[in-house]
């Protein structure tokens, strides 16, 4: 008899596949985190790529939005410039729906809306428009309801440019919370108060629920006494907002983008990959506390 097996003996196909977060929990609006710091070279893009990959590895459905005209997140995830048919420029210019700019990456459950250099001209083009600061938020709103047959993202990470310009303001206006990478160097805290002031004014004028999700210390070098001092200073200044996880300086992390791969794919066992996996777990934990 074909149907002899009892329901207990006949596992459903979806039990055999890695569960998607959206299948475990009822569909909720994606959590939107803006990775922001107006300083360049502090680890924003590296964090967007590798935190995104780590969240996807844990079962989340992740979309990275590349909001830096340099397009480093897109390149670092192996998206060739020729394959950026629709970009975040087209989305913010109002010419393309965000869905149509999303391309899959080689990492399961991780997609990206890539950027191109056109994005650097956007501010001049839309600077006078009334909705200029809300373009990304408006573009994201259709993602909050999952259409049949389309991926329902559980996390959106926005990789911001190294500036407090209109692009970063768009990211802050669209986000639930901000994630700030700080490099373990002497001037780590320099500029932080300016960043926090910008967050305050976006909260007042555009996005009343905006919070600081957390501060992640990056490029920590245990051989350098200064790194330890910076960690102590930042923890004293920002208290529990600083994640427990610290990202070490690790050459594998800096090599991975030239292969178009996240470090978790390039070398899963290296200290950088392990740290980004810990950070993802910590972020999910903090999310549970924030959303409880």
Strands 62-66, 31-35: pairing kind: unpaired
74 binds Mg ion (CB under 5 A): no
| CA dist 24 → 27, 81, 158, 183 (Å) | 9, 36, 25, 36
Of 32, 33, 43, 216, the one binding ligand ADP by CB under 6 A: 43
∠ CA 155-132-174, nearest 5°, is 15
For Mg ion, the closer CB: 115 or 154: 115
Stretch that binds ligand ADP, among 40-48, 82-90, 135-143, 232-240 (CB under 6 A): 40-48
Part in contact with ligand ADP (CB under 6 A); list of ranges 1-9, 93-101, 102-110, 250-258: 250-258
Can residue 193 be called a binding residue for ligand ADP (CB under 6 A)? no
Strand order in the sheet with 62-66: 103-104, 110-113, 62-66, 155-159, 31-35, 177-183, 211-220, 242-248
Would strands 211-220 and 177-183 be described as parallel, antiparallel, or unpaired? parallel
| Spatial separation of the C-alpha atoms in residues 260 and 66, rounded to whole Å | 15
Nearer of residues 70 and 151 to Mg ion, judged by Cβ: 70
Q: Which stretch binds ligand ADP (CB under 6 A): 132-140, 200-208, 223-231, 243-251?
A: 243-251
Distances (CA, A) of 17 to 14, 54, 78, 106: 5, 18, 26, 18
- Does 253 sit near ligand ADP (CB under 6 A)? yes
72 dihedral zone (left: phi>0; alpha: psi -120 to 50; beta): alpha
- Binding status of residue 162 toward ligand ADP by CB under 6 A: yes
Q: Give the nearest distance from C-beta 44 to ligand ADP in angstroms.
A: 3
Taking CB under 5 A as the binding criterion, the range among 67-75, 107-115, 176-184, 283-291 that sits at the site for Mg ion is 67-75
Under rule CB under 6 A, residue 250 binds ligand ADP: yes
- With CB cut-offs between 5 and 8 Å by kind, which of Mg ion, ligand ADP, none does residue 250 bind? ligand ADP
Minimum distance, C-beta of residue 248 to ligand ADP, in the bound complex (Å) = 6
Closest CA to 98 of 79, 113, 119: 113
Binding site for ligand ADP (CB under 6 A): 40-46, 72, 162, 218-219, 247, 249-250, 253-254, 257, 272
């Amino acid at each position: 008899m074909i149907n002899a097996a009892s329901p207990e003996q006949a596992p459903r196909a979806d039990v055999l596949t890695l569960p998607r977060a959206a299948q475990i929990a009822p569909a909720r609006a994606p959590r939107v985190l803006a990775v922001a710091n107006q300083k360049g070279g502090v680890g924003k893009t590296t964090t967007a790529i590798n935190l995104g990959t780590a969240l996807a590895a844990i079962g989340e459905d992740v979309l990275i939005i590349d909001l830096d005209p340099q397009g480093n997140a897109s390149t670092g995830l192996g998206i060739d410039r020729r394959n950026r048919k629709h970009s975040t420029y087209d989305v913010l210019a109002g010419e393309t729906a965000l869905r149509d700019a999303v391309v899959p990456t080689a990492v399961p459950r991780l997609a990206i809306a890539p950027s191109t250099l056109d994005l650097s001209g956007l501010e001049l083009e839309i600077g006078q428009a009334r909705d200029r600061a809300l373009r990304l938020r408006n573009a994201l709103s259709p993602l909050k309801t999952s259409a049949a047959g389309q991926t329902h993202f559980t996390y959106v990470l926005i990789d911001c440019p190294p500036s407090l310009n209109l692009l970063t303001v768009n990211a802050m206006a669209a986000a639930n919370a901000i994630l700030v990478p700080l490099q373990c160097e002497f001037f780590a805290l320099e500029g932080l108060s300016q960043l926090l002031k910008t967050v305050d004014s976006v909260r007042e004028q555009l996005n009343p629920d905006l919070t600081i999700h957390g501060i992640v210390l990056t490029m920590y070098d245990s051989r350098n006494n200064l790194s330890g001092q910076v960690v102590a200073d930042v923890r004293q200044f920002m208290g529990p907002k600083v994640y427990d996880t610290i990202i070490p300086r690790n050459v594998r992390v800096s090599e991975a983008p030239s292969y178009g791969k996240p470090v978790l794919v390039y070398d899963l066992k290296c200290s950088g990959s392990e740290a980004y996996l810990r950070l993802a777990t910590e972020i999910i934990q903090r999310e549970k506390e924030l959303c409880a």
